[in-house]
Structure 1
């Protein structure tokens, strides 16, 4: 018996099974970069739920975002939190931002333990985002980032693993010494006259890179060197990200 047009139309209008959107888990949603990454990822509405790790109970500032309070600084002691995509950032909370001080921010030495906890929670796609303006970070944090154990994380079994390093224009290293430092300081006074392509990458551009990388991520381990992030910020971010992921 063939179905008539009425039956076909009724079948098309019948609600099907809802498509489950992935769950996002963020550790370190602090600082200018962490705030921009959160806004970008939540604004795209690709995730059905977003959890941010916090050390104190506060009200989330973004719609669709829930805070997950952790009771200690040791991820191995935390109960698992089911999620599909994870983002780890290390930028410290901004001064005078009480809400950010209530969030939990990992230290570089906790990367492997935190990544393992996320993997055990079901995370298959992980992005590790380094602060893009490391010159303003505390010395202890800079030393920790320099010794980041990326190799250990790569052995944990993530389907897609992204490392986004500090954005930096490719070129010769800066000269050290009093005279070069003085010259750079004097030139910085006229920064407003410098073309945007010559200026440091803004946090919003790094956040756009991270969001695009998560959207287009292919299976495997992908490391975005500083020059790649800088180049993406100068033009079509999606095009640079797709080219980088295709390598």
Structure 2
């Protein structure tokens, strides 16, 4: 049995090993509502990012590892101090009123999309995902398949290496117990829901979050728009990988 001189062993121990792949940092605006909370849990819990900085209005006790609140003063994103990040995520779901944590977070308005995206680009963000909730079937087919408005076109012109736009159905407002009129209205809406085509029904937040998380990790360079129909199909059983391959033209080893 051969042995190595102690000096060689010591030198080998001091020699640096293979460099670890650096995890990117993320800026997240709009981690509120059922969808924002689901996405936040996935991007932080998946440990794919070295740090997830969540825009906030005020501080509160943080309970997630690799997450940091980033309080901002005012709503003018172009006046905010720059941060260092490679990935950005913008969502617009309002905070739920009885969640103190969500009320402390900063949620953009749709009109602020361009300014927030421009700030993120100045922070070094190369990959940006924008999740735009809307009611299924309310947009023309041509708009569903492409950039919906001038604001999104201006965001696309900012020079992101990867721009991901996800259009998902918005969860319907739930009526409380209320009085007799409220209960009657709830019963009528429940009955009418059976008349809504299956493809036009809301998609659960967890399914949209899975699609957003996967797209951030797998999308190649370019602009990628997920129409509501694709989001719905991805939410079906065993539909996520099929839709990802068709949408992003990515392939997985068997």
Per the TM alignment, residue 72 of structure 1 is displaced from its structure 2 partner at its CA by 1.1
Indicate the residue corresponding to 1:107 in structure 2.
Answer: 109
How has the CA–CA distance of structure 1 residues 130 and 197 changed in structure 2, closer, same or farther, with 3 Å as cutoff? closer
Indicate the residue corresponding to 2:87 in structure 1.
Answer: 85
Per the TM alignment, residue 23 of structure 1 is displaced from its structure 2 partner at its CA by 0.2
Q: Distance in 1 between matches of 2:190 and 2:34?
A: 26
Indicate the residue corresponding to 2:241 in structure 1.
Answer: 238
Quick check: 2:23–2:50 contact (8 Å CA) kept in 1? yes
- Can you give the 5+ residue segments of structure 2 that lack an aligned partner in the other structure? 138-147, 171-184
Quick check: 1:212–1:238 contact (8 Å CA) kept in 2? no
Quick check: 1:84–1:125 contact (8 Å CA) kept in 2? yes
Match of 2:223 among 221, 224, 231: 221
Match of 2:130 among 128, 131, 149: 128
How has the CA–CA distance of structure 1 residues 36 and 133 changed in structure 2, closer, same or farther, with 3 Å as cutoff? farther
Per the TM alignment, residue 37 of structure 1 is displaced from its structure 2 partner at its CA by 0.6
Per the TM alignment, residue 15 of structure 1 is displaced from its structure 2 partner at its CA by 2.8
Per the TM alignment, residue 61 of structure 1 is displaced from its structure 2 partner at its CA by 3.1
Quick check: 2:34–2:205 contact (8 Å CA) kept in 1? yes
Q: How high is the TM-score relative to the length of structure 1?
A: 0.78
Quick check: 1:88–1:129 contact (8 Å CA) kept in 2? yes
Per the TM alignment, residue 95 of structure 1 is displaced from its structure 2 partner at its CA by 1.5
Match of 1:17 among 9, 16, 19: 19
Show the 5 A alignment for 1:42-121.
42-121=44-123
Quick check: 2:83–2:123 contact (8 Å CA) kept in 1? yes
How has the CA–CA distance of structure 1 residues 98 and 152 changed in structure 2, closer, same or farther, with 3 Å as cutoff? same
Q: Distance in 2 between matches of 1:73 and 1:122?
A: 20
Quick check: 1:128–1:162 contact (8 Å CA) kept in 2? yes
Indicate the SS of the match to 2:153. Answer: helix
Match of 1:34 among 21, 33, 36: 36
When the two structures are aligned, how many residues end up with a matched partner? Answer: 219
Describe the superposition over 1:60-87 as per-residue Cα deviations: whole angstroms up to 9, x where unpaired. 2322100011011001101101100000
- Can you give the 5+ residue segments of structure 1 that lack an aligned partner in the other structure? 136-145, 169-180
Structure 1 runs (4+) greater than 2 angstroms displaced: 6-19, 131-135, 181-191, 196-200
Indicate the larger mover: 71-80 or 182-191: 182-191
Quick check: 2:136–2:201 contact (8 Å CA) kept in 1? no
